[in-house]
Amino acid sequence: MNALFSFFLVSALFFLSSDRLSRKAHKIHQRVLTLDTHADAPIMMVKKGFDVGERHDWVRDKSQIDFPRMKEGGMDAMFFAVYMAQGPRTPEGHANAKARALEIFQSIHDALKKHPDQAELATTPADAYRIEKAGKRAVFIGMENGYPVGEDLSLLKMYYDLGCRYITLSHFANNAICDSATDPDGPIHNGLSPFGRQVVQEMNRLGILIDVSHVSDKSFYDALALSKAPLIASHSNVRALCDFPRNMTDDMIKALAAKGGVIQVNFVSDYLRKPSDEHRQALNAVRMSSVGRAVTPQLQAQLDAKADSIQKRYAYERASVADIVKHIDYIVRLVGIDHVGIGSDFDGGGGVNGLEDVSQIEALTLELVRKGYSEGDIAKIWGGNLLRVLGQAKVAQ
């Protein structure tokens, strides 16, 4: 009888403790401004019939972001990515990338015009706080892969005027700006190209953040040395915890932080926990299969189907919310609380057990509270650090 009583007492205390943590996390989550620096919502938004102003279901259509679920989850602001897979490095390829990028920009602006009661375009830190106070979602715009810049420096001003506030210099393959961390053919520029050096300087002049997620280590150090503004890694993780060239070494994170930058931890499972060799090879095969090719809707559908099949096959290796916080903890111990943030990669491969879409992001705040982070720390992680750096993006020449 005493043993049974003790069991129920311990169980009751556990649930009371968990409930207190949940209530504490909920209050903190409601008070801080939450900002995600990398969301691939436009991948879904350009699909026929998809309306980001309506609530969708992750299980049914694999969509992870819309304005109603952002509100439901307490996500105040997101950078919607103008994503472009790397195609041919030719005049025709660059022209097609520019045209496609402009279509994606237009899809974002059209959605905001259609749903002015739910969301607004944000381009400054002040915008984020103003829009949050109005009870709406703040939508920033970033560009993932500098491929649409081609070799035309003047396009940076065009993209800036359309709202772009960061550019990921490359993606899974090399482009005219710099070498990628994952190009199967290896480097072609040995870091930044001569044109890439001009791009970094012009981004500084305009006030576009330089994003080093996806770039080669040499490209990272070249950009860091050249830029007069802090850099960001909009959706990257720690290589010491998950050995993949897309992730950052300790020395890179230290160098990024020393110049005031911030690394935004992402939710892609195989960048959080090292998958089996077989799993990694399958993923890489899908990622590399589009390199140098024009990504048509038909090809994208094929890639999505293959990726979904791989995810189901290796579901037992999938990461958790605790894994996300392990990377955050590591960065905090390495360089301090001022240099870490969140870049989920939702709708672009992000998502872990217990955190499947934007409606569930409070689970991350709860885990941070469980690990002992204060409200001030959580405010920095969830947006304060990135907004500080955004305010420093424009540098006097």
- Position 279 scores a pLDDT of 67
**Using CA atoms in the order 103, 104, 108, 110, what is the torsion angle rounded to 10 degrees?**
20
Q: Which residues of 335-374 are buried (b: 16+ CB within 10 A; e: fewer)?
A: bebbbbbbbbbbbbbbbbeebbbbbbbbbbbbbbbbeebe
Q: Please identify every stretch of the chain with a pLDDT value under 70, giving residue numbers as ranges.
A: 1-17, 279-280, 283-284, 286-297, 299-301, 303-304, 307-308, 310-316, 396-397
Residue 181: count of CB within 10 angstroms of its CB: 24
Q: Which helix (H) or strand (E) holds 294?
A: none
Give the pLDDT score at 107: 98
Distances in whole angstroms, Cα of residue 136 to Cα of each of 107, 189, 361: 19, 43, 17
Per-residue pLDDT at 291: 67
Written as one letter, the residue type at 301 is: A
Distance, in Å, from the CA atom of 330 to the CA atom of 252, rounded to the nearest integer, reads 14
Structure confidence at residue 315 (pLDDT):
65
- Residue 312 has what pLDDT? 67
Give tens-digit pLDDT for 240-256. 999 999 999 999 999 99
Q: What local confidence, expressed as pLDDT, does residue 121 receive?
A: 98
Per-residue pLDDT, 10: 43
| Ramachandran sector of residue 49 (left: φ over 0; alpha: ψ -120 to 50; beta: rest) | left
Q: Does pTM top 0.85 for this prediction? A: yes
d(CA 156, CA 115): 27
For 178, phi then psi, to 5°, come to -165, 175
| Domains located in the chain, CATH noted | 24-390 (3.20.20.140)
Helix (H) / strand (E) element for 392: namely none
